[in-house]
Structure 1
Amino acid sequence: MNYLESLILSILQGLTEFLPISSSGHLVLAQHLLGVKKSGIEFEVFVHFGTMLSVLAIFWKDISAILKSFFTKIFKVSELGTNLKADENFKLAVLIIWASIPAGVIGILFEDKIETVFQSPKLTSIFLMVTGLILISTRFAKNNPEKDFNFVSSFLVGVAQAFAILPGISRSGSTISAGMLAGINGVKSARFSFLLSLPAILGATILKTKEIFEFSLFDKVPLLLFSALISFITGYIAIKFLLKVISRGNFSLFAYYCLTIGLIGLIFLK
């Protein structure tokens, strides 16, 4: 992989990781349509690390408050029930862990089968169109500004994230949509989705990092750091942009893009 190919894929990863248009789907289609290919698992690890840093940069105050609350109160077993009701940051930490379970289970049990799906641009195109339909469904969501996430709604978002392991099913699109369809407003749903992405990205990064150490990658470090930087910058821009779009009630507009790209993939890719 050269720097131009790295630039293309890193921009794709950074923008599509958080915009509701499926990063994995775009990378699969880019490989087949543009002839651009990744050079191994190390690229995937570094660009995901870059996008994780973009979430940390934007939500650092929220994340630090959540971590501080969680680690100071989790060991007070007798007060857990009280803390869940009285401390929103502690409750949010517990809900994020709870919502992370479905994707973790699916990823571990079906990793090999999911990998085969990543080789099919046709299936990826179909899943992109499914994402479009999911986004359109948010037009029928009831927006309740007072409603917050609970164990039921957060688990539904977690199930949506589990399905987003499939290429073409947008993680941000499906999780934000699940929150909105559960009656929670778009901005709150987006915030929960982005915070929920951290355990998922971190877990995947840790699992894949062990594979990196099996190979000598010192000559690739400059290129990989460049890829991480580009994905960080574009991920940061994508999050800020999406939050503005959601606050204006235009989230479902991304559906038309997904439907169009999915249809093009079905027509032109073998």
Structure 2
Amino acid sequence: MSAPDLSLGLAALLGALQGVAEFLPISSSGHLALAERVAGLEAGAGGHSFNIVVHAGTLLAVLIHYRDDLLAIARGVLRPGHASKDMPDAPGAFGHAPPDIPLIATRAATDPAGHVPADSPTPRGTTDPAGHVPADSHGRAASGSAPTDARALLLALVLGTLPLAAALAPPVEGLVIAAEHYPQAIGVCFLVTAAMLGFAEWRTRRQQRPQEVPRPLQALLIGLAQLVAILPGISRSGSTIAAAMALGLGRLPAARFSFLLAIPAILGASLKEAIGLMKHGLPAADPLAFIVGFLVSFVVGVATLRVLLVLLVRVGVLPFVPYLVVLGLAVLALG
């Protein structure tokens, strides 16, 4: 099957797959590469461009979900003379938390000024029994947790993005496209992701007081983990969340940093792809299929992101390890 065979149905299916796999730490690029291989969609004839488009759909989900954090960072940059330390704790973009989310500390536990009442069972700066920073249902630090400096978070994001400059080199892009054609390489990368998640969960359960924002060297190391994740099969969210947890961040702060770190990464890849399309022309595929893939990946991504944050609070990342091990071994066995 060639690029013109990217039907609307296949585009919607791949968009949904991207929406699920981008946020769950199971590698969206690996799943897309395998699915496109099964469907016969060539990476060099539209498949690779389509991957960038559906990644942009999940990027929009991140921008909307973490918009309060992004606004706080912007205020910290534009008004450096003002105290802008408390990250937002407003309800998330999609309404109130589902009733089954075990909130550790919520806005209801604070007074109108954001302070924890004296009789509150969750005083400022405390952590849950597993040693994780209290957070609301949307992955942000709750108003009862220790303050987070927005400018420190911005610095960490800048440092974490720097390693991606290496991905701009044409040989690196060629390596990624070539890897999409070799299922065995993808299978090995699935196993690598599983190992990273297992180690991170082991490390975070031994921590006493996890951090909310990585320090500069930690941010660079998390950025290196994101660089490795350009290979299909190594999850971007999985590698960065695992690296952040292993370096001392709690589960939800690690997820927040991971998804905020995805913004410049996906923006850069999308811009690079757009420039390439302007130079060489659109791939021989129905433009409507790209629009459908984008919209489906966005809608599914919105729902999946919320589900992931619930899972992080309840069980962590360990449940994804056996899935990745089984999938990786199956890909290796089947070729």
| 1:147 counterpart = 2:211 | yes
Q: Which residue matches 1:70?
A: 77
Q: After superposition, what is the alpha-carbon deviation per residue over 1:80-109, rounded to whole angstroms, capped at 9, x for unaligned?
A: xxxxxx971111111101101112224436
Matched residue count: 260
Q: 1:88 pairs with 149, 162, 177, which one?
A: 149
Q: Which residue matches 1:16?
A: 21
Q: Which residue matches 1:100?
A: 161
CA distance in 1, matches of 2:148, 2:241: 23
In structure 1, runs of 5+ residues without a counterpart are 80-85
Q: Structure 1: which amino acid aligns with 2:21? A: T
CA distance in 1, matches of 2:315, 2:244: 14
Q: Which residue matches 2:68?
A: 61
**Greater gyration radius:** 2
Q: Which residue matches 1:27?
A: 32
Q: Which residue matches 1:175?
A: 240
CA distance in 2, matches of 1:188, 1:107: 28
In the alignment, is the contact (CA less than 8 A) between 2:37 and 2:181 conserved in 1?
no
CA drift at 1:203: 0.4
Q: Which moved more, 1:181-190 or 1:136-145?
A: 136-145
Q: Which moved more, 1:178-187 or 1:27-36?
A: 27-36
CA distance in 1, matches of 2:301, 2:40: 23
Q: Structure 2: which amino acid aligns with 1:191? A: R
CA distance in 1, matches of 2:58, 2:76: 25
Q: 1:118 to 1:107 in 2, by over 3 A?
A: farther
Q: Which moved more, 1:63-72 or 1:258-267?
A: 63-72
Q: 1:135 pairs with 177, 183, 197, which one?
A: 197
CA distance in 1, matches of 2:234, 2:282: 33
Q: After superposition, what is the alpha-carbon deviation per residue over 1:26-63, rounded to whole angstroms, capped at 9, x for unaligned?
A: 11211234545565144223212111100011111111
Normalised by the length of structure 2, the TM-score is 0.72
CA drift at 1:152: 1.7
Greater fraction helix: 1
CA drift at 1:18: 1.3
In the alignment, is the contact (CA less than 8 A) between 1:50 and 1:231 conserved in 2?
yes
Q: 1:144 to 1:205 in 2, by over 3 A?
A: farther
How do 1:245-264 residues align onto structure 2 when only pairs under 5 Å count? 245-264=311-330
SS of 2:234's partner is: coil
Q: 2:175 pairs with 113, 120, 137, which one?
A: 113
Q: 1:124 pairs with 176, 186, 191, which one?
A: 186
Q: After superposition, what is the alpha-carbon deviation per residue over 1:5-38, rounded to whole angstroms, capped at 9, x for unaligned?
A: 1012111111111110001111121123454556
Q: Which has the higher contact order (CA 8 A, sep 6+)?
A: 1
Q: Structure 2: which amino acid aligns with 1:238? A: T
In the alignment, is the contact (CA less than 8 A) between 2:193 and 2:239 conserved in 1?
yes
CA drift at 1:218: 11
CA drift at 1:264: 1.0
Q: Which residue matches 2:266?
A: 201
In the alignment, is the contact (CA less than 8 A) between 1:144 and 1:185 conserved in 2?
no
CA drift at 1:146: 4.8
CA distance in 1, matches of 2:198, 2:210: 23
Normalised by the length of structure 1, the TM-score is 0.88
Q: Which residue matches 2:297?
A: 231
Q: Structure 2: which amino acid aligns with 1:198? A: I
CA drift at 1:212: 1.9
In structure 2, runs of 5+ residues without a counterpart are 1-5, 83-146
Q: Structure 1: which amino acid aligns with 2:202? A: F
Question: Kindly, what percent of the aligned residue pairs are identical?
Answer: 32
CA drift at 1:236: 1.2
In the alignment, is the contact (CA less than 8 A) between 1:53 and 1:232 conserved in 2?
yes
Q: 1:215 to 1:28 in 2, by over 3 A?
A: same
Q: 1:163 pairs with 223, 228, 236, which one?
A: 228
SS of 1:251's partner is: coil
